[in-house]
Structure 1
Amino acid sequence: MAARRRRSTRPDAALIVDLGFVLALVAVGAFAAWPIYETWYLLITVGGAVVIAASVVLLGRLRRWSWLTIAGCTAAAYLVFGVPLAIPSAFASRADFLGAYRDLLAATVGDWKKLVTVAAPVGHFQTLLVPLLITMLVCTTAAFSIVFGRVRGYGALVPIMLVPTAFAIVFGTTANGQGLTIGAFHVAALLHTIVGVMAVGIAGGFLVWRGQHARTVALRQAAAASGIRRPGGAAAGNVRRIAGAVAVALVGLAVAVPLSSTALEPSQRHVLRSTVDPTAQLSQYTSPLTTYRAAFSSDGSDPYNSAVLSYSGDAKQLGRLRIATMSFYNGQQYTVLPNDSDRSSAFEHLPQLTSSHHSAGLSELDVTIGPAFRDALGSGVWLPTVSGLKAIGFEGSDVNALTDGFYYNTSLQAGAELGALSSGDRYTLLAQPQAASANPAALTPPQGAVPVTDNVPDSLTQWVQAQGLGSDGQALSELIERLRARGYLSHSLVNPGKGTATAPTWLESVSAPGPKFKQSLAGESMDRIGDLFSDLLRQQQEKGDSAPAAELVAGVGDDEQFAVASALIAQSLGFPARVVLGFTIAGGGADADAIPACDGGVCRGKNLTAWVEVQGADGQWVPFDTTPQSKLPLADHTVTSSVPKVPTQVQQHAATVQPPPEANPSGGNHQNNEHTPKSPLGPGVWLPVLRIGGTIALVLLVLVAPLIALVIVKAARRRERRAAESAAASIASGWDELVDTAVDLGLPSPGVRTRVEAAAVYAAASRAADSATLRTLAHGADEAVFGAFDPTPDEAERFWAQLDEQRDKLAAAFPRWRRLLALVSLRSFRTGGGER
């Protein structure tokens, strides 16, 4: 008795191994998800999910709860603890904490797609830890239910616990990461390979040990029941088998990992993030360059002398503050987004600044929005950032709203804030300091780049040709310098007048002798830029190419016109170019002849400037300052004219007004043809309907396919049993079919009961079934298995006919929904059903 008691208190090895397997794959899943989040709060989320799952399942086992009750308690625990475990931003204020429960409900459904629309690593950005919490909580709850429930289907633990790793892969980044070369073998994606080897290795080792353990337990029970002791050497045999399996696995990994890694090129890694377009289209906002002159106004709030923003930190290392990057010229203006926005112009969420981003080699800049921010920058949607931005962190009571509204485009290196920015809002930028710009004279166009001729004024092309400088980087640099030297700075159409000592106007900075003010039209259309080059070209033709620089000053404008003109010059030579609006920082390498740089930690309206960035063959963007000079005044222009000897008689003609063509939304001049028949239900109407209907049908098919497959499998199993090789096997299998039907309906498995005893249990559970017929079927199955004579095929057919009738009567005692669930139930597969 004492020995039996000691054995009962001995720890269950299978339970310990099962728990170890679950926790090991939880750790692998968290490790695989690290590149997505890169925040230590991930450990709180994963650990909290494991604790909640274990607590609910253990409490359910003590209280003998059903699986439905356990699922309900798990969901309740998720609603209670989901906010502190997955939404750390909720601790910003009491209102944010209460509102986070509403966000938790929305994130439960919507954040799965949102997770792939935010640039990784996402940190603890908003509610993006919620999908990880749900995945871990559901998987560990199901796994612990199997482990603590002592269910024999331990094999289900493997697919369940591989789900967290699959989650990390599917929602992961597209980058393959660093590789590893060992001799002649090359592992292209080391991190992903390690994750795969760990997950598959742990799962395989678990199945091998569990299978060996089950065999050992079965042999031990057989020996105890029969009294026959097993021969010695069993332990040594187990060791040999396990060692052989490990050796085979190691050999397979040594061969498969390098070969598969080499075969999969980095460009072939596709995840959900590869196909989802996380754009926030900003085309409805005005191009910031069109409101450039508002910063130089001294009326009203006086943005020219007021603080647009203030900054502190590593400003000199970062050099320039970028407000907007405009890469697309449509002949009227330079815009941030093209008319046909694609992924190259996509603005996406950038993760909030977390502790994981603070690493060596990154510069930090704190920015505070000033009172003149919106007056100087128009809509105020374009947020000042820096090149090489890695993360951003907002501060203040509205941190969540500002974080949610921030979008960033990595290729343009420009950010937008759709939230309501106001004076005093603060944020921190963490960026990689930019290397020194390449020598502009050494630039060469990227391979495959061609000169742009569309939306380029003819006068610009003629002026470039008149300089005779060529088309390389040296020529581009010289052309931009000549353009600046022959231009004259003017920010307005009307004279701003004299300022005071405390509130000077932009005219005070113009250092030309004599009359300083020259009116300048705003705008950056082809006509405006064409007129600028026409003036420059005419002055050069009148004065000659060798005239002094002071006699060639003829173009009037400011950064709005001269930045666009410089960009079009670069594009006409085959260089990709874009216009950037922003501020330069004192000590950051700004041009002394350009707009004054920000100094003293404050950027005012008078410091706002625009420059051009030109891309070279190495893919780097090189900045060019484009502000025109203001030291030399405009040169005199002499207009020569003569009176014609033969006066021209002007005749009056009546003008015929042509009716305008019908407006076309596509921008063309195509007019309606009234004689052309129109089909009200053409392909353009049906295609979207068919596309949406096909997508819905496909989704429904994917969801229903497993259920249909299960019904087909059960039908095939029934057909195989009925068509057994012998009549005895057919009758015995028929009884198994009856038992499987009862088990799927929710009745207990026979277990150790005899067929006659099982028939009595099923007859009692279903008043529609015939107990006498069920006993007859049970006796018939026993006779077929243990009888002295084999039954005939006719007897087997009669047995199956009675069997089908009793199966229908057995199911008739249950409601319709139970019968439908029985069709797709897996209980007969899990419990073994009729297998005896």
Structure 2
Amino acid sequence: MIASFLAGVRRIAVRSWVDVGVLVVLSLIGIVGLATAFDDSAYLRAGIGGLLIGTIAATASAIWRLGALTTTGLAIVLFFVLGTPVAVPTEGIAAVVPTAQSLTSLCVGAVFGWADIVTLRAPASLPDYIAVVPYVAGLVVGLVGTVLALRWLPRKRTTWRSSLLLVGPAVLYLASVLLGTEEPYHPGVRGVLFAAIALVWLGWRRSQRLGVSGSRAILWRKVRGTAIVVVAAMLLGGLGGWAFAPKPDDRFVLREEIQPPFDPLEYPSPLSGFRKYTKDLAEEPLFTVSGLKTGQLVRLATMDSYDGRLWNVASDTEATSASGTFALVGRSYPEPPLVTPEGSSRVEFEMTGYSDVWMPSVGYQDKVRYDDPQLAERADDLRYNAATGTAVMTSKLREGNRYRVTSIDQAAPVEGELDDVPTANVQLPNASNVPPIVAEKAAEMSAGEETAYGQLRAIETTLKTTGFLSHGAATDSVPSRAGHGSDRMTELFERSHLVGDQEQYASAFALMARSLGYPARVVMGFAPEVPEGTETVEVIGDDVTAWVEVPFEGYGWVPFLPTPDNTDVPQDEVPKPQSEPQPQVRQPPRTEQQQDDLVTAVEVEESDSDDDTIFNLPAWVVVLALSILIPALILLIPALIVGLLKARRERRRRRTGPGDRRVAGAWEEMLDRYSELGYAIPDKLTRPRTAADLEAQLPEDRRGGVQTLARVTDDAVFSGRDVDPDDAEKVWTEAMASVAAARAAATTFRRLIARYRIGAARRWAARVSAKAAKSDAQRRK
């Protein structure tokens, strides 16, 4: 048995091994370029491992002459067996033995990793299946390139065939550019090295065609010429790259063009549900927080877009600093664009009654750690906006979820520090449908102040000292309507006294700041009381609050809290009796506001039926389904497309034109089918001679039909008589019978490959190959 096994081993020529070595080296140059997209060397291990696995599978295919399906199956088996230690070792047993989780990550990474890597903030470190992307890329390039080098290139060693081996490494190199960041990884060194090796190898391949009988002078002349070209390419490439390479901000990378899939506008405005907390959830525990400092605020959502009805998270296309620009993050977060750090905070959150996409946090997040295994499994659902310090969990936080946040704290300004500091030039969406009384009151309250900080503090002080706090609850002395639309802002300022809660005062202050030309945004969160020495605090609905942030040049976003503490509204503010019609006439439009009052960012009893549950299936089901579906789609979709093209071709030839044209179409269709089955079709011969050549390739018991068909076709085409459609259909029947005989005589492999071949494409490739060979022969002369 061993002797018969070794007898089938095919010897590989030395120059073929050189081709494989060049392919591997050039591919490594491309893989190394992914360094800027990852935060550790795991990508390099995965890429090199995939490249070696693909090369080994292709080498085994060449040595033992395996078929295409067997080679593909071997590569898939190696992909899963060796994928755990190479790509996702942290999910395997002892980093080597595959588990259901590691096999699932291999499948998910191969399918979804390509989309995540261009939306994941670089350097990418989370989720773990991202490392499968370079693993798959290296495996495919190594497999296809080595098969071409060992099995296809030796058949006819021409320059254009050799050049095709460079396609895979070039694609890897291009992928490292497109999947990277604005800061490339040693582009000059990698580019020059790639070009030099490729040129030297192509020159060597050309010199090999001289053989041992070639002139030594010619050989040395080619070597010197190649060396000159390589040196010139290195010099010109280096100088040109230094002179003309685009600046980092102008480089084209996919992650800058592809937007993350999370759209915050699909969710209701968090501020629209403010009264839900103060009324329905006032005493309900929402979450516990440990490590919170006295006076520290918990941020929930940041809003900078106002349309006259609501403050909302802006679309990421509205402005460069919009609050709607959320991106995937890894274990570490991006630095905020405008902040003056003053220490850091380490805070732990545990959800009790809170369930929403907006993630409670403090300051500007720097790191996050998940203490809850269920939440850790959904870590790749996290999106973060570095400009606003807002994080969202697209699959929603749930009861029992625990996580720890390390954040950067914004410094609080001391007296006089910002008196001469202007507001920062931050582009925010324009506020629309703002009532004129807002600007009038802003000018009135800020009169006498000349600096931006002085005007804003004057407005804040006026609101806090002249206004009154009321949540509109039954225990409040006067009613206070919910909402912060234009009508509510008008009502706030037109009444004899300012009455409202944090929702109205924060909205009013932000609009007043905007009317003075200062960028301002509204932040919704919680302000729990943290007594000195208290480690853990329970946050309830009544702790909800809202404030305003305004950016100052070189300093950061400074918070303003304009809500008053005084709840004793003077009695003359009590509404007039219901018998007087005026309050009824001036009722605000309730159609829209009622909806806003009911909409809330918290749905404590909402079921999880809308969640994406595909990955809640048993791991073995996901692995089995993907393991079957992915190879099936790779094999079946091309065959389906080719089959549809062939059916369209046959239908056009069979039903178009007069009878003689249809008979000729039957002959052409038969030739195409023979060509697709791998039979050699002679070029520029008459039909009888072509038929003779074809029948010579068939077994003796299957000959005769092709020559008969050739005579019938010539008679129909050259006789000048009309051919009846029924006669043409009979010719088609004979032609298809001949094709069936040829198919039966072909091997199983040739019949399978025929499903992926198109006769016209094969003829075009044959013409190109013949033309290239002829041109090459003329040059050798």
Amino acid at match of 1:165: Y
Amino acid at match of 2:258: V
Alignment RMSD: 5.4
C-alpha contact 1:743 1:827 (8 A) present in aligned 2: no
Shift of residue 383 of structure 1?
0.1
Amino acid at match of 2:678: G
C-alpha contact 2:192 2:238 (8 A) present in aligned 1: no
What are the ranges of 5 or more consecutive residues in structure 1 without an aligned counterpart?
Answer: 1-9, 178-188, 224-229, 497-516, 539-553, 586-594, 642-649, 656-660, 662-699, 712-739, 751-758, 774-807
- Tell me, yes or no, if structure 1 residue 250 matches structure 2 residue 234: yes
**1: CA distance, partners of 2:327 / 2:179:** 15
C-alpha contact 2:37 2:180 (8 A) present in aligned 1: yes
C-alpha contact 2:305 2:429 (8 A) present in aligned 1: no
Shift of residue 211 of structure 1?
3.2
Q: Deviations 1:183-232 (Å, cap 9, x if unpaired)?
A: xxxxxx674444433433332333234334x15xx341x26xxxxxx66x
Q: Which protein is bigger by CA-based radius of gyration?
A: 1
Choose from 519, 535, 548 the match for 1:576.
519
Corresponding residue for residue 42 of structure 1: 43
Aligned length: 616
**2: CA distance, partners of 1:402 / 1:93:** 24
Query: Residue 380 of structure 1: SS of its match in structure 2?
Result: coil
Alignment of 1:752-831 (within 5 A): 764-766=696-698, 814-815=742-743, 818=754, 820-825=757-762, 826=765
TM-score calculated relative to the size of structure 1? 0.61
Corresponding residue for residue 374 of structure 2: 398
- Tell me, yes or no, if structure 1 residue 336 matches structure 2 residue 273: no
TM-score calculated relative to the size of structure 2? 0.64
Query: Residue 614 of structure 1: SS of its match in structure 2?
Result: strand
Corresponding residue for residue 461 of structure 2: 481
C-alpha contact 2:304 2:313 (8 A) present in aligned 1: yes
% same residue: 24
Alignment of 1:525-604 (within 5 A): 525-535=485-495, 538=496, 554-583=497-526, 600-603=534-537, 604=539
Query: Residue 378 of structure 2: SS of its match in structure 1?
Result: helix
Choose from 297, 322, 334 the match for 2:299.
322
Amino acid at match of 1:260: F
Alignment of 1:170-189 (within 5 A): 170-173=178-181, 175=182, 177=183
Query: Residue 562 of structure 1: SS of its match in structure 2?
Result: helix
Pair 1:600–1:472, CA change in 2 (3 A): same
Q: Deviations 1:365-390 (Å, cap 9, x if unpaired)?
A: 6554335551xxxx532102355445
**1: CA distance, partners of 2:266 / 2:334:** 35
**1: CA distance, partners of 2:431 / 2:325:** 28
Corresponding residue for residue 74 of structure 2: 73
- Tell me, yes or no, if structure 1 residue 465 matches structure 2 residue 460: no
C-alpha contact 1:610 1:626 (8 A) present in aligned 2: no
Query: Residue 421 of structure 1: SS of its match in structure 2?
Result: coil
Shift of residue 363 of structure 1?
8.3
Choose from 196, 199, 215 the match for 1:204.
199
Corresponding residue for residue 542 of structure 1: none
Choose from 471, 484, 492 the match for 1:524.
484
C-alpha contact 2:120 2:330 (8 A) present in aligned 1: no
**2: CA distance, partners of 1:597 / 1:563:** 26
**1: CA distance, partners of 2:93 / 2:305:** 40
Between 80-89 and 108-117, report the one with greater CA deviation: 80-89
Shift of residue 828 of structure 1?
7.4
**1: CA distance, partners of 2:30 / 2:428:** 48
Corresponding residue for residue 28 of structure 1: 29
Shift of residue 140 of structure 1?
0.6
Shift of residue 237 of structure 1?
5.5
Shift of residue 56 of structure 1?
1.6
- Tell me, yes or no, if structure 1 residue 143 matches structure 2 residue 122: no
Choose from 263, 271, 280 the match for 1:281.
263
C-alpha contact 2:177 2:253 (8 A) present in aligned 1: yes
Corresponding residue for residue 134 of structure 1: 136
Pair 1:269–1:45, CA change in 2 (3 A): same
Pair 1:290–1:63, CA change in 2 (3 A): same
Larger relative contact order (CA 8 Å, sep ≥ 6): 2
Pair 1:486–1:128, CA change in 2 (3 A): same
C-alpha contact 1:521 1:557 (8 A) present in aligned 2: yes
**1: CA distance, partners of 2:773 / 2:353:** 77
What are the ranges of 5 or more consecutive residues in structure 2 without an aligned counterpart?
Answer: 1-10, 336-340, 586-590, 592-637, 650-671, 683-690, 708-735, 744-750
Shift of residue 65 of structure 1?
0.7
Amino acid at match of 1:323: L
Pair 1:364–1:448, CA change in 2 (3 A): closer
Corresponding residue for residue 119 of structure 1: 121
- Tell me, yes or no, if structure 1 residue 611 matches structure 2 residue 547: yes
C-alpha contact 1:322 1:414 (8 A) present in aligned 2: yes
Choose from 383, 390, 412 the match for 2:388.
412
Query: Residue 580 of structure 1: SS of its match in structure 2?
Result: strand
Corresponding residue for residue 289 of structure 2: 309
C-alpha contact 1:388 1:433 (8 A) present in aligned 2: yes
Alignment of 1:668-747 (within 5 A): 746=678
- Tell me, yes or no, if structure 1 residue 380 matches structure 2 residue 356: yes
**2: CA distance, partners of 1:68 / 1:88:** 29
C-alpha contact 1:613 1:624 (8 A) present in aligned 2: yes
Q: Deviations 1:772-807 (Å, cap 9, x if unpaired)?
A: x9xxxxxxxxxxxxxxxxxxxxxxxxxxxxxxxxxx
**1: CA distance, partners of 2:317 / 2:149:** 55
Amino acid at match of 2:36: P
C-alpha contact 1:445 1:574 (8 A) present in aligned 2: no
**2: CA distance, partners of 1:99 / 1:450:** 43
**2: CA distance, partners of 1:82 / 1:450:** 46
Pair 1:336–1:761, CA change in 2 (3 A): same
Query: Residue 521 of structure 2: SS of its match in structure 1?
Result: strand
